[in-house]
Amino acid sequence: MKVDINNIIDDSKIDDLKIKSILKDVFQELIEYQENLRQDTDKQIKEEYLSEKRDWDDVWQIKTMLEDKNNINIGIGNGFRPIKIGNSIYFANDTMEKMAKVNKEENQFFLNCMYDELESLCQKKYHGFIITKENQKKEFTYKLVEQYRFIEAEKLLYEIANLYRIRKPRIFSPYARRAVDVCIENINSDEFLSALEYNFCLYENKLQGVLLTNFVLMWNVDIQNENEPLKGLEPSEKEPYYQYFYNEDIKENSFIYTKNICNHIYKKDNEIRIFCQDKMERNEYKKINILDTKENNNIVFENIFENKHINKCNHLRTKADVIYILNLFNNINNDYNCSLISVGAVNNNGKNLVRYRKEHSYFKEKNELYFSNMRNKPYICIKFTGKKIFLVDYANYMLHYLESKYPEYNWVGKY
């Protein structure tokens, strides 16, 4: 190309040799600039392609479990971290400001029951008592109130998974949907916290083994809040984005989530690069590590999903496609299984499984919200079998994923 440009200039009608020399120099610099730009673009496209091709689903193995409060350090040693959501005891006669000050210890409560029993258990009132400092017995009433703070904590995982193009289900966490607050009536926080003893009378209230009072919910997700500035590059003529880099102790199971809006993010083995249209006003971000875990005696819920050939099923065209996608879930737990009943019209055989209420649902994707308004969508009916207590949770976990990936169908669970 260099010779061609020079020949064109030499053969031109320009008589001034000085001008010809200037033109050659200018075009030569332009050619070199374009070549460098092409090489940089090729390099970036290759890096982004490799990042897109890299299957980060392999490390997205999220596990949750209940651990005895007295064994939290054992849970931490096994690769789990407590999900801190604040105290779950509050008092009907106190203000929120006072409750925030007096509730130093974090208490968590869970209902160990089938999902469709939650509402009825939370509609009743129960009785308990305290032993005051004067060694007097004083009774109180309390009620159970469903709380959704664990579910709100899951939102971070959805945002991270979307940024890094994770395709598998985000999380399977039944006990987050069994969490309740205890609202105490008839006494105030000062009386309760100064008491020598308190008793929720679980046996008398028929809550023995149902209301779990000595457990915490843990997951294998370590979240670090960072305030140190990210190493960044300013926009240039070559690249219209602000680029930010993170390469401090990046492992295969490490992810960076910035509170600023970013246009694109990709991850190599030892570096995470963030592209922003606008300059970050705040360099606050979170570093998330998905921890390896050890086997333990607790019931562990995991988003197990066979995703090696998930791209084969971007569209469901036949019953075989549906059966194939269902089989990707069947190794989640030997206690639960699913099978295809029908495709097309609604099948009236069997009983419909209870679906999560909106507050308990896993977060919806944008395309799911769009397709949810479509009418006359064909039905796909699935039969679920397995142990009863978490069967509804297993079904909702599965159906949520299917609805988000294939929102053009109505998915129905039967048992």
DSSP secondary structure string, 175-203? GGGSEEEEEEESS-HHHHHT-SEEE--TT
Coil, strand or helix at 344:
strand
How confident is the model at residue 133, as a pLDDT?
Answer: 93
Fill in the DSSP letter of residue 133.
Answer: T
Structure tokens that stand for 210 in this block? 């149902």
**φ and ψ of 23, to 5 deg:** -60, -40
Strand partners, 177: none
Contact yes or no for 256/272 (Cβ under 8 A)? yes
**Encoding tokens for residue 197?**
């003893």
Q: What's the pLDDT at 334? A: 64
Return the pLDDT at 270.
Answer: 78
67: buried, middle or exposed (CB in 10 Å: 19+, 13-18, 0-12)?
buried
Half-sphere exposure of 314 (CA within 13 A, CB side): 1
Q: Map residue 351 onto helix, strand or coil.
A: coil
The residue assigned the tokens 């289900």 is 169
Token pair of 38, please?
């092409």
Q: Check residue 8 and give left, alpha or beta (phi > 0: left; psi -120 to 50: alpha).
A: alpha
Q: In which residue are the tokens 């269902």 written?
A: 326
pLDDT of amino acid 116: 92
Tokens standing for residue 170: 């985000």
Residue that is written with structure tokens 């007096």 in the block: 102
How do the pLDDT tens digits run along the chain, 415 residues long?
A: 445 777 777 777 777 778 878 887 888 888 888 787 777 665 665 565 455 555 678 889 999 999 999 999 999 999 999 999 988 998 988 765 556 555 556 789 999 999 999 999 999 999 999 999 999 999 999 999 999 999 999 999 999 998 888 888 999 999 999 999 999 999 988 899 899 999 999 999 999 999 999 999 999 999 988 777 777 776 666 667 788 888 887 888 889 888 777 877 877 767 888 888 778 776 678 899 999 999 999 999 998 887 666 656 678 888 999 998 898 886 555 678 889 999 988 788 888 999 999 999 999 876 555 566 667 889 999 999 988 899 999 999 999 999 998 999 999 999 8
Q: Check: CB of residue 400 under 8 Å from CB of residue 361.
A: yes
Report the distance separating Cα 200 and Cα 129, nearest Å.
7
User: Which residues, listed in sequence order, are joined to residue 91 by a DSSP beta bridge?
Assistant: 184
How much is the pLDDT for 165? 85
> Which pLDDT value is given to residue 10?
72
pLDDT confidence of residue 1: 45
Neighbours of 287 (CB within 10 A): 18
Amino acid letter, residue 232: G
Helix H or strand E segment including 141: strand 137-146
Helices (H), 214-373: 319-327, 366-371
Nearest C-alpha neighbor of 40 from the set 277, 233, 258 = 233
Count other Cβ atoms within 10 Å, centred on residue 384.
20
- State the Cα–Cα distance between residues 71 and 221, nearest whole angstrom: 18
Instruction: Determine contact, residues 191/319, Cβ cutoff 8 Å.
Output: no
Distance between CA atoms of 349 and 215, rounded to whole angstroms? Answer: 40
What is residue 2's predicted lDDT score, i.e. its pLDDT? 47
d(CA 178, CA 147): 8
Confidence (pLDDT) at 335: 77
Residue type, 352: N
For tokens 């205890």, the residue is 182
Q: What is the 3-state secondary structure (H, E, C) of 201-244?
A: CCCCCCCCCCEECCEEEEECEEEEEECCCCEEECCCCCCCCEEE
Please check whether residue 389 is in contact with residue 353, taking contact to mean a CB–CB distance below 8 angstroms: no
The DSSP element (H or E) to which 127 belongs, if any, is strand 125-131
The residues with which 256 forms a beta bridge, in sequence order, are 287
Q: What is the pLDDT of residue 28?
A: 82
